[in-house]
Amino acid sequence: MVNFRAMVGSTTLYILLAFYEVLVCTRIDSSAPRFPWTLVFIPLYFLAIISIPMCLWAVRNERSFEVHIRRRQCYIFSESVL
């Protein structure tokens, strides 16, 4: 069950990063922007909120950061919330 939760958490983080990337590319490529920049950064806000509990969960369950959560992402997104 721990491996499944780690996989779901990691997949969620990567989907949010991909969604952010798509929104940025859409916003930059369009000649007349359809949505504001604040909407583009919403996936990063959710990523920051989700990454703190994911890091704590990984430490508590003795999961390695390199496999399921990259250490730099964990540090950067946790730092941005604080």
What's the chain's Rg over C-alpha atoms? 15
Contacts of 37 (CB under 8 A, 6+ apart): 27
Q: How far apart are CA 33 and CA 28, in angstroms?
A: 8
* pLDDT tens digits along 52-72: 888 888 888 877 654 444 555
Q: How far apart are CA 26 and CA 52, in angstroms?
A: 28
* pLDDT tens digits along 8-55: 888 888 888 889 888 888 888 887 778 888 998 999 899 888 888 888
- Compute CA distances 33 → 13, 39, 41, whole Å: 26, 11, 15
Beta carbons within 10 angstroms of residue 77's beta carbon = 24
